[in-house]
Amino acid sequence: MKRPSNRALVNTEELGRAVRRKREELSASLRDVADATGVSASTLSRIENGTGKPDADNIARLTTWLDVPMERIFGNRSDGEEAKAVVYFPRESTPQIVEAHLRADRNLTSETALALSELFRVAYAQFSRTEPERAARKRR
C-alpha cells in the first residue's frame, strides 16, 4: 500500500506571494482586499506571512480575485522532484506565464526561480507599453 505524501496540497507560500504582489500593485490595504474577496483581513495577513492555512472557500475566493486558476497554487514541487508541464491559461499575463516556467524548471531552486520571476516582472513593467502608448510613440 502506498503511503500518503507529507507534502502540502496547497502551496500557501505561492498564494501568499501572489496576494501580496497584487495588493501592492493595487495599493490596496488588507481591509480593501478583505472587502473585495470576502476573506477576513486577519486571514489575508496570515496567508501573506506564510502562517495561514486557507480553507477551500478562501482559496477559491482568492484565486478568483487574483484571476489565476486554482491549479497554479496546488502542489509544492521539491527541488529533487520531476517538473510537470506548464499549462497556459488565456487570462494569464506574460509575467505570470514566465513565472510558471521558472518555477517548473528543475535546474532552478525555488528561491532562484522567485528572484528571476520578480526581476522579469519589474523589467516587463518598465519596458512594456500599452497599445495607446505605442501608437503615440510611433506618431512622434
**What per-residue confidence (pLDDT) applies to 4?**
44
Q: What is the pTM of this model?
A: 0.56
**What per-residue confidence (pLDDT) applies to 8?**
60
50 and 21 part of one domain = yes
Lowest mean pLDDT among 28-32, 76-80, 104-108: 76-80
User: Phi and psi dihedrals of 108, rounded to 5?
Assistant: -115, 140
Whether 84 is covered by a domain: the verdict is no
Whether 88 is covered by a domain: the verdict is no
Q: Which of 52, 78, 104 is the last residue of a domain?
A: 78
- pLDDT tens string 106-130: 888 888 988 898 999 888 888 887 5
C-alpha cell at 72: 497554479
68 and 11 part of one domain = yes
24 and 67 part of one domain = yes
* Domain count across the chain: 2
Q: How high is the mean pLDDT of the chain?
A: 78
Give the range of the structural domain holding residue 51, as residue numbers without chain letter.
7-78
112 and 61 part of one domain = no
Phi-psi region of 27 (alpha: psi -120 to 50; beta: other; left: phi over 0): left
Q: Which of 27, 46, 78 is the last residue of a domain?
A: 78
132 and 106 part of one domain = yes
